[in-house]
Amino acid sequence: MSIDASLLAVLALASLFAGFIDSVVGGGGLIQIPALFSVLPSEIPATLFGTNKISSVVGTTNAAWRYARRVTMPWGTILPAALAAFACSYLGAMAVAWLPRELLRPMILVMLVGAAGYTFWRKDFGSIHRPQHAGVKEFVYALIVGGALGFYDGFFGPGTGSFLIFLFIRFFGFDFLHASAASKVVNVATNLAAIAYFVPNGFYLPLAAVIMAAANIGGSFIGTHLALRHGSGFVRKVFLAVVCALIVKFAWDTF
């Protein structure tokens, strides 16, 4: 379909902001997906979700690359988590057909409130990078976290990046900066799994995807620059802001 230039400009602006948020703590879908549905209401949801994933994966890959150049990446945790996330994200997408996603909303809302409350309460949470696991234990924990969050991303999606950051800090002892860097690699894996379904089936808009991807990269440059410059304290503040926004969204959708 032909898309008016002014509508493409709106999508580009939304994608720029989404790239910024995604590169720091995840949650760019809060901005990009509503923008797509508002600007292109006649398109089927699968096409809009496919376009969103193409845009997101480009910005997230850029963010992961920039973090990897400046931060010591805990690959022993990241790689098994990313592989498990890739496989389980595809399974999650398949599960949509037989399990109503609406059943998850109240449970996810409770989990988000718990994550926000824990982070507010523990002022030192994520302030020091002190990895807690190694060897087989690290590998198994990474598979569990990556698999669970990968399935969630394929099945439902919103807040995946924020949940990953929280779990990398809580169960692996990362600080906010390293947790954000690790979550980007896992997010790339889950996005690629979704794209493996959407693109071959033609569920994407090429022109919109290219323009939004370019804008998303711009936002990710800004976000990673600020995160690397200001460190874990900055990432923690953005994390809390995004989680609170997710709580409001899920509460509105649920009640």
The per-residue pLDDT for range 61-95, each reduced to its tens digit, is 999 999 999 999 999 999 999 999 999 988 887 77
Measured between alpha carbons, how far apart are the two ends of the chain, in Å?
36
Report, as an integer, the average pLDDT of 1-7: 79
pTM of the complete model beyond 0.85? yes
Report, as an integer, the average pLDDT of 171-189: 94
Say how many C-beta atoms besides its own lie within 10 A of residue 91's C-beta. Answer: 14
Quickly state the pLDDT bin for 194 (edges 50, 70, 90): confident
Report, as an integer, the average pLDDT of 24-41: 88
If you average pLDDT over every residue of the chain, what do you get? 89
Given a cut of 70, whether residue 20 has pLDDT beyond it is yes
- How does pLDDT run across 100-111, given as a tens digit for each residue? 666 677 878 888
Report, as an integer, the average pLDDT of 234-241: 92
Whole-number Cα distances in Å, 99 to 87, 103, 211: 18, 8, 34
pLDDT at residue 101, rounded to an integer: 62
Task: Confirm if 165 and 180 have CB atoms less than 8 A apart.
Answer: yes
For 255, which DSSP code? -
Q: 255 is written with which tokens? A: 């009640």
Q: How would you class 137 by CB atoms within 10 Å of its CB: exposed for 0-12, middle for 13-18, buried for 19 or more?
A: exposed
pLDDT at residue 178, rounded to an integer: 94
Quickly state the pLDDT bin for 159 (edges 50, 70, 90): confident
Report, as an integer, the average pLDDT of 169-191: 93
Quickly state the pLDDT bin for 99 (edges 50, 70, 90): low
Given a cut of 70, whether residue 212 has pLDDT beyond it is yes
Q: 173 is written with which tokens? A: 């002892």
Better-scored residue on pLDDT, 3 or 41: 41
State the Cα torsion 161-164-170-174 to the nearest 10°.
-80
149 Cβ neighbours under 8 A, 6+ residues apart: 85, 160, 163, 164, 167, 186, 190
- 91-100, 105-114, 187-196, 245-254: least confidently modelled range: 91-100
CA separation for the pair 92, 110 (Å, rounded): 21
